[in-house]
Amino acid sequence: MNIGILNIQGDVSEHYLMIKKLSKKLNVNPVAVNNKNTLANLEGLIIPGGESTVIFKFIIQNDIYDRIIEMANEGMGIMGTCAGAIILSKNTNDTRVNGMNLINMGIKRNAYGRQINSFIQNIEIKNIGNFDAVFIRAPEIENVRDADVLAEYNNNPVVVKNNKKNKNVIAMTFHPELTGNTKIHEFFINNLK
């Protein structure tokens, strides 16, 4: 099974290493995604954290924005972390970034503060368990519709999973790839089978 990692900027190598770590256990291969050709033959795609305006600009310039949406509608799973969650949302609240509307939710960018306000918080995630979530300039999820909230922090959703047409689309406002804990990546991959 091929799991793509959108290879633009941000935590690309960290997600790549997480998939590599799971390669034997779950029979998965990481694939760096830069263009339409590298999107072919994927069962899942990870849109990592980074800078959402840069990610959006890149996927538009490389003509893969619409193809990612098509592939999600055809059943490909997508996991968006931090900036990736912004890209997956319906309403980014930022005129520079058009969300893909793969999860019916709004996003408030940098809601938890600047880089200096980064923190780690243990959260309970439905069907996954306890997880030390790393929040770095994290967005806040707002107005969730047609999606299941799998975890909250301070009564705000931090992990959501679509429950309608794109059942394999999951978004989180933190960075699971920075922990060394593969539980979230395993959950994502196991839901693709």
Q: Reply yes or no on whether 14 is catalytic.
A: no
Q: List the domain range (segments joined by +) for residue 91.
A: 2-190
Averaged pLDDT, 129-150: 92
Active-site pick, 14, 15, 82, 185: 82
> In this structure, what CATH number is given to the domain that contains residue 34?
3.40.50.880
Q: Reply yes or no on whether 140 is catalytic.
A: no
* The pLDDT value given to residue 146: 84
Given a cut of 80, whether residue 164 has pLDDT beyond it is no
Q: What distance in Å separates the CA atoms of residue 55 and residue 5, rounded to the nearest whole number?
A: 12
69 burial (CB, 10 Å; 0-12 / 13-18 / 19+) is: middle
Q: What is the pLDDT of residues 33-91, one digit of tens each?
A: 999 999 999 999 999 998 999 999 999 999 999 999 999 999 999 999 999 999 999 99
Helix axes of 52-61 and 65-73: crossing angle, nearest 10 degrees: 90
Q: What is the pLDDT of residues 89-130, one digit of tens each?
A: 999 989 999 999 999 999 988 767 667 778 899 999 999 999
Please count the structural domains in the chain. Answer: 1
Active-site pick, 15, 43, 175, 185: 175
* The pLDDT value given to residue 113: 64
Q: Tell me the average pLDDT of the chain.
A: 92
Q: Reply yes or no on whether 15 is catalytic.
A: no
